[in-house]
Amino acid sequence: MKCIFVYTETDVIKGELAWARPVGLECIISYLNSIGNKCMELFYTQKEINWASIASADILGVSINYENIEKSLKVIEHAKMINPRLKVVVGGPYPTVMDKELIANVKYIDVVARGEGELIFEELLKYKFNDLNKIKGISYRDETGVYQKNEDRELLENLDSIPLSYRELRNISSEVITVHTSRGCPYSCNFCVCTNGQRWRTFSIETVLNHIDNVFKNCDSHAIRFVDANFFVDANRALLICESLKNKFQDIEIFFDARADLIVKNKNLMKRFAKNGVQTIEVGLESGSDSILNQLGKGITKEVNKKCISILRDVGIGITPCYIMWTPWITESELKESYDFLLEQELYIPQRLFCRLIPYPGTEIHKKMKNEGLLVKDGWRYTYNFVDYSIRMKWNAMISLYDTAYKCIHETQNWIFDQLNKYKSNRYIAEYIRGEMWLFQREVLKAFGLIFDYINNSDLLHDLCNKIVINTYTLSENKMKKIKSAIDLYQL
């Protein structure tokens, strides 16, 4: 049977897939390959899709998350239009918990796969989409049109039983390679979808290293982003992987995510991570306010976050903070505290000010909001009302700036990044550009911060918002001009 697999890209982050391609579909394809089904194609992004191929396919598998749901449904609708006999199966973090809604509302979807997809897909092929009641972990519409939810499928215990060979499927040369070395997470932050009974399970280090070896055979650069839900559960294992890679590939660059408390707990190992290729860690700081951290069930404190930042800076590892600025229960003082934390800790990333807690279906925080009557359904997504009226005003003020200011920040940063890449080999220019970028971000962050002081006066607030937008544009124009002339100067 000919199977086509599709990921759709959203507008959230331009070029996001070059930075971190998700690996779920590749895992399924390589597993199916290993058991003899060779008739498969994978398309990342809508633009890549070969519709002629879909017209002659038997099965379409689409991976859906909270952000790409609409685009995915459009692809499915179009595919069904050109090939009505196509069987459509969807999976991923969104369908895993929204199976009922998808089956009820999207007639083009035949099957929803919940959780890990490898064995489910194998059985769908084995039963040729008949006897669906025999397949654990799926939901579907029966012959009478009624929604059926089969019992959950057990988690894969021995990850090494599925091949970790998917990267060979793609023709990659210079992008950052995404690899996962484990599945699940033992923690239970109440906003996160990785907590649904997902015990932490690992591939053996040998399997991981063999896989990376194979992938690097076709690559110009040696950069890896580990996309495990939690790569750092066992820091010694993580270090062993990084050290083994560094021994083989001197120019290795490694990126991954980690909790702040695990970094503090493994303080003594961090220098070795830095020495062995780790460039930047995406840290789940989430907030600069203890009460918000508590609300999020994060199990860490502001103090831990501070220690973590200082440890990483001491050893020279970069920090990308995950930050949730707005929650429905946030108060003015908590918001201010969280904002001040960014400034105090010199985390100059203005985009973080727009980060609002997303109530992913299936999470504890989603249930809590629902119970408190705060949740509002918005198409395929959910939003909520802020409990505090003045917070609502602030959020509205921020959001009124979003389109213009955010676009401007983004474009300027992308432009600066492009220049940085272009002049990476020229140390003087690169350092100059990096410095200018830092200053730009700090100034923009400060400009937005003013909103927090003008809370109760809507006229002033309105006026201020306009000024901030104009100011941001001027700042970005100035930065670009300055960098351009500096580059000219250095090149002379």
Q: Identify which range of 22-30, 76-84, 126-134, 377-385 contacts ligand B12 by CB under 6 A.
A: 22-30
What H or E segment, with its residue span, contains residue 63?
Answer: strand 59-63
Which tokens go with 96? 């895993």
Between CA 113 and CA 99 the distance in angstroms is 8
Q: Identify which range of 56-64, 246-254, 291-299, 415-423 contacts ligand B12 by CB under 6 A.
A: 56-64
Question: Under the criterion CB under 6 A, does residue 231 sit at the interface with ligand B12?
Answer: no
User: If binding means CB under 6 A, how many residues of this protein chain bind ligand SF4?
Assistant: 11
Question: Which alpha helices (DSSP H) does 170-318 contain, by range?
Answer: 205-216, 235-248, 260-265, 270-275, 290-295, 302-315
Smallest distance, ligand SF4 to C-beta of residue 297, A: 8
Question: Under the criterion CB under 6 A, does residue 47 sit at the interface with ligand B12?
Answer: no
Binds ligand SF4 (CB under 6 A): choice among 5, 187, 360, 423: 187
φ and ψ of 429, to 5 deg: -65, -45
Question: Under the criterion CB under 6 A, does residue 90 sit at the interface with ligand B12?
Answer: yes
Binds ligand SF4 (CB under 6 A): choice among 8, 195, 441, 476: 195
Between CA 1 and CA 15 the distance in angstroms is 32
Asked if 409 and 350 count as a contact pair (C-beta separation under 8 A), the reply is yes
Contacts to ligand SF4 from residues 296-315, by CB under 6 A: none
277, interface contact from ligand SF4, ligand B12, none, CB < 5-8 Å by kind: none
Question: Under the criterion CB under 6 A, does residue 194 sit at the interface with ligand SF4?
Answer: yes
Question: Under the criterion CB under 6 A, does residue 379 sit at the interface with ligand B12?
Answer: no
User: If binding means CB under 6 A, how many residues of this protein chain bind ligand B12?
Assistant: 39
Smallest distance, ligand SF4 to C-beta of residue 193, A: 8
Nearer to ligand SF4, 86 or 258 (CB): 258
DSSP annotation of 27: H
Question: Under the criterion CB under 6 A, does residue 293 sit at the interface with ligand SF4?
Answer: no
Q: Is the dihedral of CA 434, 435, 436, 439 positive or negative?
A: positive
Question: Under the criterion CB under 6 A, does residue 262 sit at the interface with ligand SF4?
Answer: no
Which tokens go with 50? 């070969």
Closest CA to 93 of 110, 117, 109, 74: 117
Contacts to ligand B12 from residues 98-127, by CB under 6 A: 113, 116-118, 120-121
- Reduce the DSSP state of residue 276 to 3 states and report it: coil
187, interface contact from ligand B12, ligand SF4, none, CB < 5-8 Å by kind: ligand SF4
Question: Under the criterion CB under 6 A, does residue 180 sit at the interface with ligand B12?
Answer: yes
Dihedral (Cα; 125, 126, 129, 133), 10-degree rounding: -130
Question: Under the criterion CB under 6 A, does residue 235 sit at the interface with ligand B12?
Answer: no
Nearer to ligand SF4, 201 or 248 (CB): 201
Between CA 380 and CA 46 the distance in angstroms is 19
Which tokens go with 458? 């809507």
Residue indicated by tokens 């969807």: 90
Between CA 170 and CA 18 the distance in angstroms is 13
284, interface contact from ligand SF4, ligand B12, none, CB < 5-8 Å by kind: ligand SF4
Single-letter residue type at 279: Q
Binds ligand SF4 (CB under 6 A): choice among 139, 165, 202, 230: 230
Binds ligand B12 (CB under 6 A): choice among 75, 86, 93, 319: 93
Question: Under the criterion CB under 6 A, does residue 226 sit at the interface with ligand SF4?
Answer: no
Question: Under the criterion CB under 6 A, does residue 185 sit at the interface with ligand SF4?
Answer: yes
Closest CA to 269 of 245, 238, 244: 238
φ and ψ of 218, to 5 deg: -105, 15
Between CA 449 and CA 340 the distance in angstroms is 9
Between CA 34 and CA 22 the distance in angstroms is 20
Binds ligand B12 (CB under 6 A): choice among 91, 321, 328, 359: 91
Which residues contribute to the site for ligand B12 (CB under 6 A)? 9-10, 12-13, 16, 20, 22-25, 27-28, 61-63, 65-68, 89-94, 113, 116-118, 120-121, 180, 192-194, 227-229, 360
Which residues contribute to the site for ligand SF4 (CB under 6 A)? 185, 187-189, 192, 194-195, 229-230, 259, 284
